A and B are shown apart, each in its own frame.
Chain A
Amino acid sequence: MSAVGTLKSWEAMMLALLVAIIAFNSVGSPYFLSVGNFVNLFQLSIEKSIVALTMALVIIGGEIDLSVASVMGLAACVMAWTFHAGVPMPAAILAALGAGILAGLNNAFWIARVGLPSLAVTLAGLIGYRGVARILLEDRAIGGFPDWFNTIGQQALIGPLTAAIAIFFVLFIFFAIVLHGSAFGRLVYVVGSNAQAARYSGVRVGLVKAALFVGSAFVAALAGILYAARLGSVRGDMAEGFELDVITAVLLGGVSIFGGKGNLVGVGLALLVILNLRNGMGLADITGNTQNYVIGGLLILSVLIPNMWQELTNKWRGRET
């Protein structure tokens, strides 16, 4: 089976799974197919969904960014801290986005310029950025943001959609165009499948990687701000451990951890599968803990079953010829 064929069948599999889950859920609960429930289930982990988009690009580019959750926390804490120090809210938000860009530049410097493995650099970032967030807020929780800011996070702005959901869709379309319709997107695939070959054919690999990491941190900072708006208050341990959920969603979306393979449609479908599965299980009174390991199992099976299927069909074909 060609690479394209496998990719197509991955999305087909995700889509079939999604339809099955939605069908099952809507039979189980009459409230499932309402717009309200749909918005709700999207809203519950919208920040992770947003970060998953850039994480997909980073992983397709053959790297990994473990620091995203800490950058989310860092941005939220910078915002809360500057606001608390008397800076107007819009400026505080800009400072938070700036902190995100700085964190991204720091990652990019060590990975793209010095050439250290991204796993090591962003692991240090995971610890370090969280540390800076802790320095800023210590063990305080800062809230009391202006009403308009909390409204952004909590109320529907565009039709039934909240600002975060709208931003997710805009970013989804934007990154889909970047990845699948722009020259830069092609470079991401090229760098991800063979960085050395890319370098020898004149691609500025460092620049592509730097762009990926700065973009990833910027979007993580944005997601951190939206998370703060949704919760209404900020703490140092905010969004801790989110990185694993985000990576899980991206890998479930058929993105290869070795880089160079995958697309945003798959990631979008995987996000929908996770959300609907969690929502359905929630409606059926299954605890969050059980939900976690069902999704863990799904992650493994989503790769294992196609592999075994391939093996079986190969054997069958071998016998036939």
Chain B
Amino acid sequence: MNWLKRRVRPEQIRELSLLVLILAAIVFFGSFIDNYYSFRTFNRIASSVAIITVVAVGQTLVVLTRNIDLSVGSIVGFTAYFVGTLIASHNGINPILAVAIAIALGAALGVVNGVIVAWGKVPAVVVTLGTLAIYRGVLVDLSGAKTVTTDSLPQWLIDLPLVNVAPIGSLDIRALFMLALVIVVAFQIGTTYLSFARRFYAIGSNPEAAQLIGLPIKSVVFLAFVICGALSGLAGFMLLARFGNITVEAGRGLELSVVAAVVVGGVNVFGGSGTVTGAMLGAVMIGTLEQSLFRLGISEFWLDAVLGLLILLAVASDAVILQRLRQLWGGAELKLLAKETDSVSSEQSASPP
């Protein structure tokens, strides 16, 4: 046990506690819903969380640096609409090019946020509340109240959400979910092992110290916003693929779902701790609750009330579990410390005067 405690920190296994909560929820719903343990359930949850997950990964990076991006919903809507319009008028466009345009468009909007936050020294909440309104407003004005419709889109895009990239038995891993998974894995590995990406954590957990050791705080914060914008752009493309019909209202309010996923996923809203895997688990937790409550036959009017309560319980139990673990670890650390000082003092006393 002590060996384990020395190797692993409580913060590292908080994802584990969330995983346990998700499993508990699945067992709970499984005992009430017939045929719950089926691949259809998996597919439903997977396709409902894919888009939120991608944005939540970007949001995690921003939140790690003690900032927040409330404009993600508008960025998703903006890219979904404009890339949709572009593809609708140029049906022969190369799919890779279309995705690249979506990512670039999102990144460009992220650049605006990042520059104002990092170099303009304006609090992120202020900037992104502003750009939330501005991006949406520009979208509404430029669109002339037209909508993108499914029948104007090429077949490959309409089929994309149903493409099964990794059939494991009768379990489908659909393209959009796979994409989300790849992004989570890539960013998890990146933020764990790249010294460059550790800067997100360093800056968030102690900005003064980060400044003193000479980290380029401004560029890192800027980069977080650009990545968040780029991933939101990608999510915009995914939204277009999934729904086909895109109005100027697309993605409105998405920022709240994303922030909820990040918060439930155990990412500290005051920066410096949390992982993209946690954010994904947060999104999966909320997605599981939403889909399962729906299957439970609960009236749609009850959905939000129960969801709000469960989010609260998830955050609370996560906090309590983490606190307990810290106490457990703290005890172990003190014992360890006591042992070390014991051995030091015994060495000293053993040495000849």
Q: Are B129 and A244 in contact, with the CB atoms below 8 A?
A: yes
Query: Any chain A CB within 8 A of the CB of B316?
Result: yes
Say yes or no: B138 contacts A125, CB within 8 Å. Answer: no
| Docked pose: A135 CA to B70 CA in angstroms | 28
**In chain B between 130 and 152, which residues have their CB closer than 8 angstroms to a CB of chain A?**
130-134, 136-138, 140-141
How far, in angstroms, from A143 to B134 measured CA to CA in the complex?
35
Known: A127-B304, A308-B120. 6 other contacts (CB 8 A): A124-B315, A131-B302, A134-B301, A244-B70, A258-B123, A300-B126
- Of residues 214 through 265 on chain A, the ones whose CB sits less than 8 Å from some CB of chain B are 236, 241, 244, 247-248, 251, 256-258
A182 contacts chain B at the CB level, 8 A cutoff = no
Q: Give bound CA distance, A258 to B121, whole Å.
A: 13
Q: For residue A80, give the distance in angstroms from its CB to the closest CB of chain B.
A: 15
- The reply to whether A121 and B312 contact each other, CB–CB distance below 8 Å, is yes
User: Chain B 297-334 against A: per-residue CB contact (8 Å), 1 yes, 0 no?
Assistant: 00101111111110110011001000000000000000
Question: Within 8 Å CB of A244, what residues of B?
Answer: 70, 129, 132-133
How far apart are A110's CB and chain B's nearest CB, in angstroms? 7
Complex alpha-carbon distance, A303 and B122, angstroms: 6
The yes or no answer to A292 lying at the interface (CB within 8 A) is yes
Give bound CA distance, A289 to B309, whole Å: 34
Q: Which residues of A contact B125 (CB under 8 A)?
A: 247, 251, 257
B19 interfacial by beta-carbon distance below 8 Å:
no
Instruction: List the interface of chain A (C-beta within 8 A of B).
Output: 110, 114-117, 119-121, 123-132, 134-135, 138-139, 236, 241, 244, 247-248, 251, 256-258, 289-290, 292-293, 295-297, 299-300, 303-304, 307-308
Given A241-B253, A289-B140, residue A110 in contact with residue B311 (CB < 8 A): no
Complex contact B312–A110 (CB within 8 A)? yes
Are B315 and A300 touching (Cβ within 8 A)? no
Q: Does B263 contact A (CB under 8 A)?
A: yes
Please state if B136 and A292 are interface contacts (CB–CB under 8 Å): yes
How many Å lie between the Cα of A312 and that of B256 in the bound state?
37
Contact check, A127 vs B129: say whether CB atoms are below 8 A apart: no
Number of interface residues of B (CB under 8 A): 43
B260 within 8 A of A: yes
Smallest beta-carbon distance B128→chain A, Å:
9
Are B137 and A289 in contact, with the CB atoms below 8 A?
yes
Known: A110-B316, A117-B269, A304-B116. A297 touches B134 (CB 8 A): yes
Binding site secondary structure of chain A: helix
Interface residue SS majority, chain B: helix
Most buried by A among B123, B129, B259, B269: B129
The interface bits of chain B over 91-132 (1 if a CB of A lies within 8 angstroms of the residue's CB, else 0) are 000000000000000000000000010001111011101111
- 7 cross-chain CB contacts under 8 A: A127-B311, A128-B308, A131-B304, A131-B307, A135-B301, A247-B125, A257-B125
User: Which residues from chain B contact A119 at a C-beta distance below 8 Å?
Assistant: 259, 263, 269
CA of A248 to CA of B126, assembled, Å:
8
- The answer to whether B129 touches A303 (Cβ under 8 A) is no
A315 to chain B, nearest CB (A): 14
Query: Separation in Å of the A121 CB from the closest CB of chain B?
Result: 7
Q: Is the beta-carbon distance between B319 and A115 smaller than 8 angstroms?
A: yes
Query: In the assembly, what is the distance between CA of A289 and CA of B252, in Å?
Result: 14
A296's partner among B134, B140, B299 (CB-CB below 8 A) is: B134
Knowing A120-B269, A124-B315, A134-B301, say if A300 contacts B307 (CB, 8 Å): no
For A117, the closest partner residue in chain B by CB is B269
Closest-CB distance, B296 to chain A (whole angstroms): 15
Q: Give complex CA distance A251, B299 in Å.
A: 38
The reply to whether A123 and B253 contact each other, CB–CB distance below 8 Å, is: no
**One of A124, A130, A139 near B312 (C-beta < 8 A):** A124
CA of A256 to CA of B123 in the docked complex: distance in angstroms? 9
Pick from B120, B136, B253, B302 the residue with the most CB of A within 10 Å: B120
